[in-house]
Amino acid sequence: MNENIKTVILNKIKEYDTIILCRHIRPDGDAVGSSLAMKKVIEASFPCKRVFIDRKDETDQVAFLGSEGALPEEADLNGALVIVLDTGVPKRVSSDNFLKGKELVVIDHHIKEGEFGDFSWVEDHRNSVCEMITEFFFDFKDEFVITKEAAECLYTGIVTDSGRFRFRGTSPKTLNLAAKLLELGVDYERIYAYIDVKDYVDVINDSRLVSHLKMTDSGVAYIIITNQIMSDYNLTQATAYNSTQIIENIKGSLIWLVLIENPDGTFRARIRSRFVEIEPIARNYSGGGHACAAGATIRSADEMERFIRDLDVCHSEFKKNNPQYF
Ligand SMILES: [Mn+2]
């Protein structure tokens, strides 16, 4: 089935003169890496095709991968193939025009929330979309030219989405595909030098945010980042969003999260876990994602209380049944 969908996608790429790539809003290394690699590989392989990345935002974290090129005009969508990468949720797509193309391909590794796209290749056990399209390019290596620059985009997406090959979804296949990228000359020291460093001000802000850390009885760690805190510390959305990383290594805490206030007073939750599958809980709060990395939206103080309690109950049950994990 998946072998077949890969052939379908190859033929669609060959068939169209203009290809519009989209990803999720607030892009991460996988979203940018997969869209930029797809653009670079198609351009290198089929120089006559026009390839655009339609986007509303970019991210400083992986800006070192280089320019993403001009945005498409609305007219460019006419008769174009649209490929959405790294999301299966229409409202998270980085373009208002993605339905204006002729056909829509979706390539994603999140747990499926509904049917989306004319052709959809979704495998939620995969480490990253970059891993999926690395496989795709190598499966058809006679058709595609994979440049070193494209390989660096793919490698960046794989290492960022897998937490440097640590998270669930990292498989023998992941490492084999990463090895093939290294054979193309990927400079991984340079990549890590960009993705593992922080601005001085962010290091200071991390320590300030830790002072807001709370723990539930069973050890769920969380930080509520209100608009007040954001403005007191001059935090960017990106810094607030990444602050799950500063509480990820607490012994006995298998679930950790940050809750970031939106301008309208609702909260965006970013939940991470070891071993415990938290995605079903996220789904109950207008969210979803992966088994151990998900997002949710919390709309009131009552809902916040219930949400934290649900996570605490799940955490405490899991620890009771799996004492070997901490
Ligand atoms: Mn991803």
pLDDT in tens, 55-106: 999 998 899 999 999 999 999 999 999 999 999 999 999 999 999 999 999 9
Domain boundary among 157, 178, 195: 195
- Percent of the chain scoring above 90 in pLDDT: 93
Question: What's the 270 CA to ligand 1 centre distance in angstroms?
Answer: 14
pLDDT of residue 324: 86
Alpha carbons 159 and 193: distance in angstroms, whole number? 13
pLDDT at residue 204 above 80? yes
Domain boundary among 162, 195, 228: 195
The reply to whether 148 and 230 lie within a common domain is: no
Angstrom CA distances, 186 to 41, 85, 229, 276, stand at 15, 22, 40, 34
CATH number assigned to the domain comprising residue 148: 3.90.1640.10
Alpha carbons 218 and 213: distance in angstroms, whole number? 14
Going through 131-205 in order, the beta strands assigned E by DSSP cover none
Q: pLDDT class for 313, splitting at 50, 70, 90?
A: very high
What does the pLDDT average to over 239-266? 94
Report which of 107, 86, 114, 111 is spatially closest to residue 294, judged by C-alpha positions: 111
Question: What's the 65 CA to ligand 1 centre distance in angstroms?
Answer: 17
pLDDT of residue 101: 97
Report which of 225, 193, 196, 191 is spatially closest to residue 208, judged by C-alpha positions: 225
Question: What's the 121 CA to ligand 1 centre distance in angstroms?
Answer: 14
pLDDT of residue 238: 79
The reply to whether 84 and 104 lie within a common domain is: yes
pLDDT at residue 236 above 90? no
Question: What's the 126 CA to ligand 1 centre distance in angstroms?
Answer: 9
Question: What's the 215 CA to ligand 1 centre distance in angstroms?
Answer: 28
The reply to whether 159 and 245 lie within a common domain is: no
pLDDT of residue 98: 96
Q: Is 302 helix (H, G, I), strand (E, B) or coil?
A: helix
Question: What's the 158 CA to ligand 1 centre distance in angstroms?
Answer: 8
Tokens of 221: 């760690």
The reply to whether 314 and 223 lie within a common domain is: yes
The reply to whether 121 and 36 lie within a common domain is: yes
Contacts of 90 (CB under 8 A, 6+ apart): 116
Alpha carbons 73 and 88: distance in angstroms, whole number? 24
Alpha carbons 50 and 16: distance in angstroms, whole number? 9
What does the pLDDT average to over 235-239? 84
Question: What's the 316 CA to ligand 1 centre distance in angstroms?
Answer: 29
Question: What's the 85 CA to ligand 1 centre distance in angstroms?
Answer: 8
pLDDT at residue 1 above 60? no
Question: What's the 274 CA to ligand 1 centre distance in angstroms?
Answer: 18
Question: Which pTM does this prediction carry?
Answer: 0.91
Question: What's the 23 CA to ligand 1 centre distance in angstroms?
Answer: 10
Question: What's the 232 CA to ligand 1 centre distance in angstroms?
Answer: 31
Question: What's the 166 CA to ligand 1 centre distance in angstroms?
Answer: 14
The reply to whether 179 and 77 lie within a common domain is: yes
Domain boundary among 195, 225, 255: 195
Question: What's the 86 CA to ligand 1 centre distance in angstroms?
Answer: 5
Structural domain of 285: 201-325
Mean pLDDT of all residues belonging to the chain? 96
User: Within its chain, how far is the Cα of 319 from the centroid?
Assistant: 28
Question: What's the 27 CA to ligand 1 centre distance in angstroms?
Answer: 9
- Report pLDDT digits (tens) over 29-63: 999 999 999 999 999 999 999 999 999 999 988 99
Tokens of 114: 């509904």
Computed from CA positions of residues 155, 156, 160, 161, in that sequence, does the dihedral angle turn out positive or negative?
A: negative
Query: How many domains does the chain divide into?
Result: 2
